[in-house]
Structure 1
Amino acid sequence: MSGLFGSAAQTASNTLGDLKQDVELGSPPEDSISDVAFNPNPADAKDFLAVASWDKKVRVYEILSNGQGQGKVQIEHDGPVFSCDFFKDGQKVLSAGADKMAKVLDLATGQSTQVAQHEAPICSVRYFETNGTPMAVTGSWDKTVKYWDFRASQPAASLQCQERVYTMDVRGDLLVVGTADRYINVVNLKDPTKFYKTLQSPLKWQTRVVSCFSDQMGFAIGSIEGRCAIQYVEDKDSSLNFSFKCHRDAPQGNVTNVHAVNDISFHPVHGTFSTAGSDGTFHFWDKDAKHRLKGYPNVGGSITTTAFNKTGSIFAYAISYDWSKGFQGNSTTYPTKVMLHPVQQDECKPRPSVKKR
């Protein structure tokens, strides 16, 4: 069931989104941006955005009422930072990267402490809770996933993967791990020391990102060849699995330029999702109606990472070089910035669909 959405290049005027209200964050990172995360605590009236960068820092911005951002605190690492995530209460930030360690920053004190260690760079770190205990899970190029209780210096448990971990996501009790060689491991965090399910990605090329559905029923996979797959966890729902093409230029003769899908983010309220890619565009999709809701004009550089805030009213996207065209594709004039897109009422709402009984 491939290509159901059609090419993202085939844009009908009523699905073309508007970037005019988008606001640029001040004091952006000084190198490529690898990850962004909003504080998830619904009790916190303020929005805070953590931004991880290859410049060895994680910056935390307070998003002001006028849409502008104000830098608050930052975490320093000894190498490029690849991943960041907030604690559930929004008071602390996790980060990890090429220095093989993960750190926690306390926003109240501005102090950071090391909480995890691997034998190779950590590509992803995520917060979760087990029986009310705050925990972190880290995925590394050393082919392991490790769980960390912040009260202990050694990992609480470890999982051996088939290959290097490239991407990882957590939602509730669902952990999904994407590795080299296109392996996808699904873990039930109530039983975290074994794989609940292992599959190879239905996409034929390298996995770039995995992202869990808001309802924990499944996950999306994005790959380097401009394709996205929708996968449900349980076999009984396998008839709902499908993949589609995205982030591809309009064909020129017999040639179609294909771009990596760098990130996928699910809307916290509607369950719809975004894709963003090396082609400098992002799109909002409805997986249940198999429909593209909105596509947006090119933003002038690759989009490396994205996130919705806790209410789904702000969509943050980072523009920076993603190395998809190698060293020669980079330049000193390449943009590095974080943009905030105010989500309009109709942009991410699912389409009404008639479900078969």
Structure 2
Amino acid sequence: MVAGEASGDLLAGLLLAGVRQRWQGAIAHGIGGPQMAKQGFRAWWPHHKLAVHGFSWELLRRYREIVGIRAALGDRLLAAKPDVFIGVDAPDFNLDLEARLKAQGVKTVHFVCPSIWAWRPERVEKLRRSTDHVLCIFPFEPELLASHGIAATYVGHPLANVIPMEPDRAAARRGLGLSDTDEVVAILPGSRQSEIRHLAFRFFRAAALIQSARPAIKFIVPAVPGLLPEIEAIALRSGMAGRLQLLTGQSHTALAACDVTLIASGTATLEAALFKRPMVIGYHMSWLSWQIMCRKRLQPWVGLPNILCRDFVVPELLQDAATPEALAASVLQWLDAARQEPAKIAVLESTFRALHTELLRDTASLATDAIEKVLQS
């Protein structure tokens, strides 16, 4: 298995729990993180080695290292062929590896359909060459893949099984030392170092503006453990040191506890939707990455909640629009709505509840059923 960043590690950890239940003697190894390790996964390389942001200088700088890891991993897997290889997201890394393994007779499964319906549709041809089966987390994807001759199974979204339909906000707040009457904003500036460098300062300056309007407000910032020192340094530079409650991990607790979240585009936005929380989605990347993404983009939405709902149910502030002033104003609009227009919040919660229901399936059983069929083919 290979998972390339925090969100992939979380998905892979949930899948591995189902694998362990069905095949108790299964041995899993490759590239992964702490959630996979909890399921007995043996990481030959840590997952953060693959985490890069956009078409950036960082990607060019680390290209040789990442390609070297992929070549070494492929050699190691072909020397002692596994029963199946499961690439979890990270398509830029995994699809080429899967193609190499498949050509040598290794069964390959890709978990999470690349977003060919949102951008980079040319990936569909590579996906067909690379994988024997795709495990899809959104219900419309298998039909789309079938039209291109790719076998796929909708397994639901694993997070829909982990996050309760009705999150316990009071318990989450007690765990973080917050009161029921506090106004709380959760700030999630991303799980990759490059995202932190592009977004954290903007988000923290937005927090300063929000606090000017609402002095009693509380901010909680869950952070990937290895990125905490950098986040602390950015908090100091932004003038928000000592005014943010920094957490090691605990993103789900933060989302359960908050009234609104200011959040980087990515899987975390879907988690926020499953927690039924109002959000403001922000994102910023290098100029080159932005230009490339815009040319390959197929839909007007970037945030997963908006893509799945086919509407701008929550605001997206991207690139030049993601100024601290604009981000702060959008968060304050949600906070004002909570006080003055509770029906607006109720409509959003109802929308997210319906989305949660649609994504709720017995993911572990459906996924392992599909994997077993691949093994028997």
Q: After TM superposition, is the score higher than 0.5?
A: no
Larger proportion of helix: 2
Q: Which has the higher contact order (CA 8 A, sep 6+)?
A: 2
User: Greater Rg, structure 1 or structure 2?
Assistant: 2
